Amino acid sequence: MIVMGIESSCDETGVGIVRWVGDGTLELLADEVASSVDEHARFGGVVPEIASRAHLEAIVPTMRRALAAAGIAKPDAVCVTIGPGLAGALLVGVAAAKAYAAAWDVPFYAINHLGGHVAVDTIEHGPMPPCVALLVSGGHTHLLHVEDLGRTPIVELGTTVDDAAGEAFDKVARLLGLGFPGGPALDRAAQDGDRTAVVFPRGMTGPRDARHDFSFSGLKTAVARFVEARERAGEPVPLADVAAGFQESVADVLTMKAVRAAQDVGVDTLVLGGGATANSRLRELAEERCAAAGITLRVPRPRLCTDNGVMIAALGAHLIAGGAQPSALTVGTDPGLPV
Ligand code: KG4
Ligand code: ZN
């Protein structure tokens, strides 16, 4: 069975093709991505209208490149992200997927983007054991419980009550004048800093937080207050130390809560996903804490952590193998789709 995945929920147009080898094992046949990230840079964030137009221009060429790379004329099934994401951006991928599925006369499957971020790990690390997944990107911060990928629903253990982790990186980077996307720039700036010089708050880490939720807006405000106070006093802002202190707070909270969630649900594997898992301190702390807790850590390579079509194909293949029925061609997009 050869499965195609189409992704257009944000600023990446992705078409991925995988082969279901069996027993939760996938072979990667194609991974084509066109990004409009450069077109958004001067606006300091993703502009939905620009993203939609870029998808329109990129979708057919990206599709052709993927088919050529896989060496096939058509797949056995077409899967597409229907949400969560930007409404106009999602529409482009969904319209294309329906058109191709109808023209090729193959089944069509509506896929949840968040589950895709989890499933993509099987490309690199093979069949997925019961696990907790931590998704961190510009748009999402989620702790998920995966029991039997493709066969039992993924359960949300917690999410952010305000800003996504990547969004906090982007906002703090902008505050510090580091540009967009801010995550990588802030990570680099933090390399020269002392992460204990300025200590910022850890949101929602109290013992009474039954759900595994996150909050990052207080942290962002704390950084803003710190910078303002320095500027008012006419003192220089220790950029590298602020970046390192902020990054330490985010990485500390994310890894502490992820390990706690894994222990609470009784699994011994933690999967990371999403673009912000590129963060060096987050990876380092996750490794340290998982090792200490006897938890196996699985982190896909960066290319698979950011948005792509392969993740949609990977989840689709698991669902199809699990007996899921095709979606109707009348299914719509759902920008606020929950897990
Ligand atoms: O998954 P992704 O490519 O797109 C979304 O779906 O949002 O994630 C992009 C996010 C951005 O917020 C970016 O600033 C953040 O991931 N990011 C990082 C790093 N690299 C990317 N955040 C912190 N440290 C990094 N090294
Ligand atoms: Zn994503």
**Complex-level ipTM:** 0.95
What range does the domain containing 13 cover? Answer: 2-120+308-321
Distance 121 CA to ligand 2 centre (A): 14
At 262 the pLDDT is 98
At 180 the pLDDT is 79
Same domain, 49 and 166: no
At 210 the pLDDT is 67
Q: Which ligand is nearest to the CA of 7?
A: 2
Same domain, 42 and 181: no
Mean pLDDT of the chain: 96
Tally of domains in the chain: 2
Q: Which ligand is nearest to the CA of 168?
A: 1
Same domain, 91 and 137: no
The domain that holds 238 is classified in CATH as 3.30.420.40
Contact 136, 281 (CB under 8 A): no
Q: What digits encode the pLDDT tens for the residues 211-237?
A: 899 999 999 999 999 999 999 999 999
Residue 80 inside a domain? The answer is yes
Residue 236: Cβ-neighbour burial (10 angstroms; 0-12, 13-18, 19+): exposed
Q: What digits encode the pLDDT tens for the residues 314-337?
A: 999 999 999 999 999 999 999 999
Q: What digits encode the pLDDT tens for the residues 60-105?
A: 999 999 999 999 999 999 999 999 999 999 999 999 999 999 999 9
Same domain, 288 and 315: no
Confidence of residue 5 (pLDDT cuts 50, 70, 90): very high
User: Which of 46, 113, 137, when mutated, tests ligand 1's pocket best, judged by the most ligand atoms within 8 Å of its CB?
Assistant: 137
Same domain, 67 and 142: no
Q: What is the DSSP letter of 325?
A: P
Same domain, 99 and 197: no
Q: What digits encode the pLDDT tens for the residues 254-273?
A: 999 999 999 999 999 999 99
Q: Which amino acid, one-letter code, is at 77? A: A
Residue 13: Cβ-neighbour burial (10 angstroms; 0-12, 13-18, 19+): buried
Distance 289 CA to ligand 2 centre (A): 25
At 211 the pLDDT is 80
User: Which of 9, 253, 281, 306, when mutated, tests ligand 1's pocket best, judged by the most ligand atoms within 8 Å of its CB?
Assistant: 306
Q: What is the DSSP string of 141-206?
A: EEEEEESSTTTS--EEEEEBSS--HHHHHHHHHHHTT--SSHHHHHHHHHTTS-TTTSPPP-TT-S
Overall average pLDDT of the 164-183 stretch: 90
- In 194-227, which positions are buried (b, 16+ CB within 10 angstroms) versus exposed (e)? ebeebebebbbeeeeeeebbbbbeebbebbeebb
Distances (CA, A) of 98 to 74, 103, 109, 179, 182: 14, 8, 9, 38, 35
Same domain, 187 and 214: yes
Q: What digits encode the pLDDT tens for the residues 19-68?
A: 999 999 999 999 999 999 888 888 888 899 999 999 999 999 999 999 99
User: What residues contact 225, with CB distance under 8 A and at least 6 apart?
Assistant: none
Residue 333 inside a domain? The answer is no
Ligand 1 atom with minimal separation from the 10 CA: 6
When computed from its CA atoms, the radius of gyration of the chain, rounded to whole angstroms, is 20
Q: What digits encode the pLDDT tens for the residues 286-301?
A: 999 999 999 999 999 9
